[in-house]
Amino acid sequence: MPGRLSPAPTAASTAARGTTGRTGLVTGIGAYVLWGAMPLYFPLLRPAGPVEIIAHRVVWSVLFCTVLVLATRTTGAVRALLRDRRTLGVLAVAAVLLAANWLVFVLGVLTGHTVDAALGYFINPIVTVGLAVLVLGERLRPVQWAALGLGALAVLVIAVGLGTLPWVALTLAATFGLYGLLKSRLGATVGAVPGLTVETLVLAPVALAFLVGLHLTGGGTFAAHGTANAVALASTGVVTALPLLLFNTAARRLPLSVVGLLQYITPTLQFLVGVLVQHETMPPARWWGFALVWAALVVLSVDGLRHGRRAALAARREASTAA
């Protein structure tokens, strides 16, 4: 039986799709630009150290997320996550990985390793592919194996050339890759705001206890170095949640392929901040390592786009045959 013809798109529907696409692009770029600019923000929080900054980030994120949960009326979703022991357990592990990622990133930025932090987020897609093989048992295409090889060679070149492993980059890539793996196992059932709220709630008791202990021993910096510093520390909640909300908006309005390409804005900006603003050194070994990583990402991106087009064409053929 012939399939029914879809109604011709009207001017209104075309305009609506165009507006949705533009909104997604603007919010997506905004999210990745904010993440990329974070190396400029964390030095403003001195003299607070990395652990104190992360503790403030957790506590203020809980407060900000609570406001968002009330505003978006998703308290029921948060309660459901807290009641589901399996999901809560996964989110608790994810929270620990996220805290470790935040801590290493801030430590890297404050100790002159912003370029290594950028390298970590550049190699994150490569690490994700590796985790798909090691943890999920997925079979890779030859091109993906080539990208993995280039990524491993990049780390080797940097390690040999500089005489030390780029531990900041490797830790960031590993923790964020594992975090993404856990969140992907939960699927789309866990919303961005409820998920982040529960994750920060899990970390909040430890973070709050640390801040209280730091204050009682006279080591805390909050409100001890002027109003501007206190406001900057309190703003860590907004700085954490705002890009996530923008990203969540973009992910609902843009194709996955576009989101995948936009993600490189963040490490590119971090790299530029490290080199041009913080004047980190770039010896030849580091340039060669980055060149290999960029080559691997080009290989992965081109292969992903081709595979996506083939899958879309196959789906269309199957749909037309079924009709």
Q: What is the pLDDT of residues 263-309, one digit of tens each?
A: 889 999 999 999 999 999 999 999 999 999 999 888 888 887 787 77
Torsion-angle region of 279 (φ positive above 0: left; ψ -120 to 50: alpha; else: beta): left
d(C-alpha 248, C-alpha 246), whole Å: 5
Strands (E), the chain: none
In a domain, 268, yes or no: yes
In a domain, 13, yes or no: no
In a domain, 33, yes or no: yes
Q: Mind listing the pLDDT tens digit for each residue in 34-88?
A: 999 999 999 989 888 899 999 999 999 999 999 989 988 899 999 999 999 999 9
pTM for this structure?
Answer: 0.84
d(C-alpha 109, C-alpha 280), whole Å: 11
pLDDT of residue 323: 60
Number of compact structural domains in the chain: 1
Q: Which domain holds residue 220?
A: 25-322
pLDDT of residue 12: 46
In a domain, 219, yes or no: yes
Backbone φ and ψ of 220, nearest 5°: -75, 150
Please, is 130 exposed, middle or buried when counting C-beta atoms within 10 Å of its C-beta (0-12, 13-18, 19+)? buried
In this predicted structure, the answer to whether residue 7 has a pLDDT above a threshold of 50 is: no
In a domain, 59, yes or no: yes
In a domain, 8, yes or no: no
Q: Mind listing the pLDDT tens digit for each residue in 162-188?
A: 888 899 999 999 998 898 888 877 766
In a domain, 295, yes or no: yes
In a domain, 14, yes or no: no
d(C-alpha 81, C-alpha 91), whole Å: 9
